[in-house]
């Protein structure tokens, strides 16, 4: 008798649970009041999809989502892709959308660390068909949406643009991605990987965040090794402190758009705020998007007695304490 009663109870409970779950998937709607995009990667398990959708406020309960997916036997049917969900969408509609599939994921795109915005623009135009001019226009004049999304960006970008803040990494982008989406991804990566280093600038360091990033971008282009970058940083900081010109060929190249190891005499006369032979102090902003390793080097300079340095065609760096010594080494290496 008791077994029969228990069996009847379990049957009623199962029917009640099934009915409740069936109703909830239609009446339990997303808490967000605006459209939201979400990317589901390949091979992501259901529990991670549930948590992602919950974090993005597309569903109200990750646990209920997993229960309904199990109830609908849709565990293996949810597809990777990029989705846009409407406000207050039902749980059933979310699962149905994931079963149908979203916009396809694009191939991974590698942006080399240390690239300049022009170099990045060429990669994007070649690989993603994003017009170079469209990307560079946004980098040079960031719009209000970018400023609102990334409030940590300094006011200096109003003059210098986003050069320096576009972190080189490997990105998963849609075929129809536009410049705005790419810049947003790069800024988010910068905030995760580079910004924490810049926030560790030692007390008493003579430069602010934007200036430190600017110096790092120059050091990145001038010398290649960790030790040389720390030594050259100290040289540049002393030149700045005593009002000397930095005289960095890399900044002249940025002004002329050339990619040469040494700027010509004509190049050195280029009228530009980025020509550190003509203008004392740092340029308005970075000339490339430096690596994390270079940022660490720049905030940890090595004290040294040198005031001058030059590199030979193989990249070896020669240091000098006096201008006469520097001139002699330059003549020996370059004949002038």
Structure tokens belonging to residue 84: 């846009």
- Indicate if the pLDDT at residue 291 is higher than 70: yes
pLDDT of residue 330: 86
Lowest mean pLDDT among 8-22, 74-88, 219-233: 8-22
Tell me the CATH architecture of domain 19-100: 2-Layer Sandwich (3.30)
Q: For 46-63, what is the mean pLDDT?
A: 89
pLDDT of residue 218: 96
pLDDT of residue 55: 87
Torsion over CA: 165, 168, 173, 175 (sign): positive
Task: State how far the Cα of 297 lies from the Cα of 306, in Å rounded to an integer.
Answer: 17
Task: State how far the Cα of 127 lies from the Cα of 125, in Å rounded to an integer.
Answer: 6
pLDDT of residue 129: 85
C-alpha angle with apex 211: 206 to 213, nearest 5 degrees?
Answer: 120
pLDDT 10s digits, 92-131 = 889 999 999 887 766 678 999 889 999 999 999 988 888 9
Predicted structure pTM score: 0.70
Mean pLDDT for the chain? Answer: 87
Kindly list the domain boundaries of the chain, sorted by start residue: 19-100, 108-193, 200-334
Lowest mean pLDDT among 19-23, 202-206, 218-222, 290-294: 19-23
Could you tell me the pLDDT band of residue 72, with boundaries at 50, 70 and 90? confident
Q: For 224-244, what is the mean pLDDT?
A: 96
């Amino acid at each position: 008798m008791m077994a029969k009663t228990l069996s009847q109870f379990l049957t009623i409970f199962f029917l009640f649970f099934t009915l409740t779950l069936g109703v909830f998937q239609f009446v339990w709607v997303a808490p967000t009041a605006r459209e939201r995009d979400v990317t589901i990667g390949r091979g992501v398990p259901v529990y991670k999809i549930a948590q992602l959708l919950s974090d993005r406020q597309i569903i109200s309960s990750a646990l209920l989502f997993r229960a309904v997916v199990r109830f609908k036997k849709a565990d293996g049917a949810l597809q990777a892709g990029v989705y846009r969900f409407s406000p207050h969408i039902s749980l059933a509609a979310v699962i149905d959308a994931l079963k149908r599939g979203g916009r396809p994921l694009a191939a991974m795109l590698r942006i080399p660390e240390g690239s300049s915005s022009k170099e990045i623009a060429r990669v994007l135009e070649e690989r993603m068909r994003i017009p170079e001019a469209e990307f560079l226009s946004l980098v040079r004049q960031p719009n209000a949406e970018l400023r609102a999304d990334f409030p940590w960006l300094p006011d200096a970008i109003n003059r210098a643009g986003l050069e320096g803040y576009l972190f080189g990494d490997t990105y998963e982008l849609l075929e129809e991605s536009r410049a705005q989406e790419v810049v947003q991804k790069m800024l988010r990566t910068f905030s995760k990987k580079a910004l924490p280093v810049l926030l560790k600038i030692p007390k008493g360091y003579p430069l602010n965040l934007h200036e430190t990033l600017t110096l790092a971008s120059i050091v990145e282009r001038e010398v290649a090794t960790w030790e040389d970058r720390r030594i050259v940083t100290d040289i540049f900081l002393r030149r700045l402190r005593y009002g000397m010109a930095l005289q960095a060929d890399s900044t002249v190249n940025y002004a002329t758009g050339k990619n040469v190891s040494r700027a010509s005499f004509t190049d050195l006369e280029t009228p530009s705020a980025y020509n550190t032979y003509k203008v004392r102090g740092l340029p308005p902003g970075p000339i490339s998007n430096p690596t994390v390793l270079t940022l660490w080097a720049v905030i940890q300079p090595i004290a040294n007695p040198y005031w001058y340095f030059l590199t030979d065609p193989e990249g070896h760096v020669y240091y000098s304490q006096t201008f006469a010594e520097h001139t002699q080494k330059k003549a020996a290496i370059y004949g002038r």
